[in-house]
Amino acid sequence: MEDFYNMENVTIFTHPLIQHKISLMRDKNTGTNEFRKLAEEVATLEGFEALSDLPLEDVEIETPIEKCTTKMIAGRKLAIVPILRAGLGMVPGLLTLVPSAKVGHIGMYRDEVTHEPVEYYCKLPSPIEERTIVVTDPMLATGGSACDAIAQIKRHGGVHIKFMCIIAAPVGLKRLHETHPDVQIYVGHLDRELNKDAYICPGLGDAGDRIFGTK
């Protein structure tokens, strides 16, 4: 078993607020409205840490008291790229932190039999090269969707890529880390395993269905 907790590019959150909110999301009695709100809140809490290395620059500001030199986010701007559909549920939580971020979209669904991802849409902010890119998807199960989405972003020229999920399975985290070792990975909670249908156990079920109220 890999020691994910000591890997340089992997952050597995232990913050009590994140753990508490994920437990509420797991509960099958949590309805769509509350589930959506919790996904946003977890994304904000994770984003606070994931964006802690955004570069700053000095700017001149005049306060009501005096002129001063102070810090603002510089240069490289942010792009948020949700993996459709479920990744959309994390976007408002990150926009709360950086309202000016551009948002791209990658459409992927898992084939129900093979569990392999099928891409159906890709639209990214251009130019993408200079941006810090945060890919969002609540669930990292086999890792296929995240690996393919990030490969697609790299083909478009993306370089500075982070991946943020709410729950990961060990097999998916290992695959993503090995396939894209340059990508910083943020995980709200590392769960036990996948079941025979490639669902995360204990997990929270189908994240897309729970966010959008479908089934």
Nearer to ligand URA, 51 or 200 (CB): 200
Q: CA angle at residue 29 from 208 to 200, to 5 degrees?
A: 45
Nearer to ligand URA, 47 or 203 (CB): 203
CA distance linking residue 47 with residue 66, whole number of Å = 33
- Contact between 93 and 41 under an 8 Å Cβ cutoff? The reply is yes
User: Known catalytic residues?
Assistant: 110, 114, 206, 209
Nearer to ligand URA, 101 or 140 (CB): 140
CA distance linking residue 128 with residue 76, whole number of Å = 10
List of residues contacting ligand URA (CB under 6 A): 86, 139, 141, 199-200, 203, 206-208
Nearest distance, CB of residue 203 and ligand URA, angstroms: 4
- Contact between 143 and 179 under an 8 Å Cβ cutoff? The reply is yes
List of residues contacting ligand PRP (CB under 6 A): 83-86, 108-110, 115, 117, 137-146, 172, 198, 206-208
Nearest distance, CB of residue 74 and ligand PRP, angstroms: 32
Q: Which does 200 bind (CB under 5 to 8 A by kind): ligand URA, ligand PRP, none?
A: ligand URA
Residue 177: CA count within 13 A, CB half-sphere: 21
